[in-house]
Chains A and B, each alone.
Chain A
């Protein structure tokens, strides 16, 4: 994000520019708007307001991911919220910090396709069994899988991110 808009920087630089009040000495050349009025008159010529501050607050980028609003079912973009209570299974798959299902595809060496399920908690071997059964119904083949107990991830050979995401949302994760 280093090269993208830094609105706060622009705002502060704008306000710092305007803050340089044109004061005497009169030898301040180059200032188009030098006003020779005294400091009291200058301060009286300023209006203070707090109603428009909400426009400034809208410009400040939030530092945390906002919680999604309540939806009853699938949204038009295809995102569906997790179930209110976790399903009664021996494992749990948490959502990512952007509230999405943590299923990702990987392509290495130009042709090695893999699907990765991250953020698994609980009994990962039961999840592996369920995933193998589900993919056997979908494809008809026994697909090789790899369980990593240290990072609690599951890798499956082949690209199945669409099917696995739909299956996990139907389970309620």
Chain B
């Protein structure tokens, strides 16, 4: 074999100096391929061919899987219960831990100086939402609540109490609202807002729902600060207060954009209608 000139290049040197590799030159490493056992041939594969001695085993007439000789089998003794009934119709929320959110902010994929929304998280490839798999949005999980240190204005669909506490402890703003794009397919928006499915989330101050009473939200913030033992920072004195308190309108899907506007992407312009019939239609 050729002698390598520099360390670390042995394999490439060998490849370059030896003749061309073809199927005729290749051979598996000795000991890597083991011969398979052929049944019905030779001293070890023959005789009963690995089937055992007489009975149902050798004759291949064993009963079905789960049969217990006539005793009521296990899978019939246990009564049915609807644990998984309707599982494919249950709403699912993709979890997002605070640790991952902090990682995304540190790497500059999510901008903490702008309100963080489901669209921002998906653009940053922080979460992957699959609406066809009954994903109704994102939920915040409080893994990493102790290392979380970012002041953000975030809007997700669900969050655990510890996650809300961690965000508010760092002086951020939190609100929860259903993702309007996901429920547009199944129900109309108005049914969504007033429906019983989300009323327990959107109107409750503990979840900082977008339909909840602002006074109750303020009290809930104080209660949460007392429960988790931190002083609630006053965000009205913050320089980013305007950004932190930006909330979407009830029917708005994207921040800063309203329905009925036409976007001219090549010329980077937005055309807004002024006819009052159109405006009435788009705000209905």
Interface string of B239-257 (1 = CB under 8 A from A): 0000000000000001111
B275 touches A4 (CB 8 A): no
Which of B11, B150, B270 touches A150 (beta carbons < 8 Å)? B11
B119 touches A59 (CB 8 A): yes
A45 touches B273 (CB 8 A): yes
Given A48-B269, A123-B8, residue A4 in contact with residue B103 (CB < 8 A): no
Contacts of B131 in A (CB 8 A): 3, 5
Interface string of A1-34 (1 = CB under 8 A from B): 1011101001100110011000000000000110
CA distance A19 to B120 in the complex (A): 26
Name the residue on A nearest B275 (C-beta): A45
Name the residue on A nearest B94 (C-beta): A4
Given A49-B270, A55-B256, A61-B123, residue A68 in contact with residue B106 (CB < 8 A): yes
Q: How many residue pairs, one in A and one in B, have C-beta atoms under 8 Å apart?
A: 129
Name the residue on B nearest A67 (C-beta): B108
Interface string of B162-174 (1 = CB under 8 A from A): 0000000000000
B residues 265-282 with Cβ under 8 Å of A? Answer: 265, 268-275, 277-278, 281
Distance from A92 Cβ to chain B, minimum over Cβ atoms (Å): 12
Interface string of B216-246 (1 = CB under 8 A from A): 0000000000000000000000000000000
> Is B132 an interface position by the 8 A CB rule?
yes
B107 touches A68 (CB 8 A): yes
B122 touches A4 (CB 8 A): yes
Given A5-B122, A68-B106, A124-B8, residue A47 in contact with residue B268 (CB < 8 A): no
Given A19-B262, A48-B270, A150-B11, residue A3 in contact with residue B123 (CB < 8 A): no
> Is A71 an interface position by the 8 A CB rule?
yes
B interface bracket (residues with beta carbon within 8 Å of A): 35 or more
Interface residues contributed by chain A, number (CB under 8 Å): 51
Interface string of B125-138 (1 = CB under 8 A from A): 10011111100000
B274 touches A45 (CB 8 A): yes
Given A3-B133, A46-B272, A50-B270, residue A77 in contact with residue B103 (CB < 8 A): yes
> Is B18 an interface position by the 8 A CB rule?
no
Contacts of A4 in B (CB 8 A): 122, 128-130
Most buried by B among A10, A55, A58: A58
Interface string of A42-74 (1 = CB under 8 A from B): 100111111011111011111001111101000
| Residues of B near any A CB (own CB < 8 A) | 7-12, 99, 102-103, 105-109, 114, 118-120, 122-123, 125, 128-133, 144, 147-150, 181, 254-257, 259-263, 265, 268-275, 277-278, 281
